[in-house]
Amino acid sequence: FGKQLRLLDVVPSTQDELRKLAENGAEEGTLVIAEQQTKGRGRMGRYWVSPSGKGVWMSLLLRPPVPLPHTPQLTLLAAVALSRAISRLVKIEIGIKWPNDLLVGGKKISGILLESAAEDERLRYIVVGLGISANLDPEDYPEELLAKAISLKMASGSAVDRGELIASILSEFENLYDLYLEQGFEPIRSLWEAHAVTLGRMTSLYTPQGVIEGIPRELDAMGGLKVELADGTYRTVYSAEIGNSNS
> Which chain residues interact with ligand BTN by CB under 6 A?
13-15, 37, 40-43, 46, 48, 50, 57-59, 101, 111-113, 129-131
Do strands 225-228 and 234-237 pair parallel, antiparallel, or not at all (unpaired)? antiparallel
Least Å distance, CB 232 to ligand BTN, is 33
> Which is nearer to ligand BTN, 46 or 124 (by Cβ)?
46
> Which is nearer to ligand BTN, 40 or 72 (by Cβ)?
40
Least Å distance, CB 39 to ligand BTN, is 7
> Which is nearer to ligand BTN, 129 or 214 (by Cβ)?
129
97 is in an annotated binding site: no
Residues with Cβ within 8 Å of residue 139, at least 6 apart in sequence:
none
> Which is nearer to ligand BTN, 166 or 214 (by Cβ)?
166
* Helix-then-strand count for the chain, H and E: 5, 12
CB 12 within 8 A of CB 105: no
Least Å distance, CB 40 to ligand BTN, is 4
Residues with Cβ within 8 Å of residue 80, at least 6 apart in sequence:
96, 176, 188, 191, 192, 195
Report the largest interatomic distance among the alpha carbons of the chain, rounded to a whole angstrom.
53
Q: Nearest to ligand BTN by Cβ — which residue?
A: 111
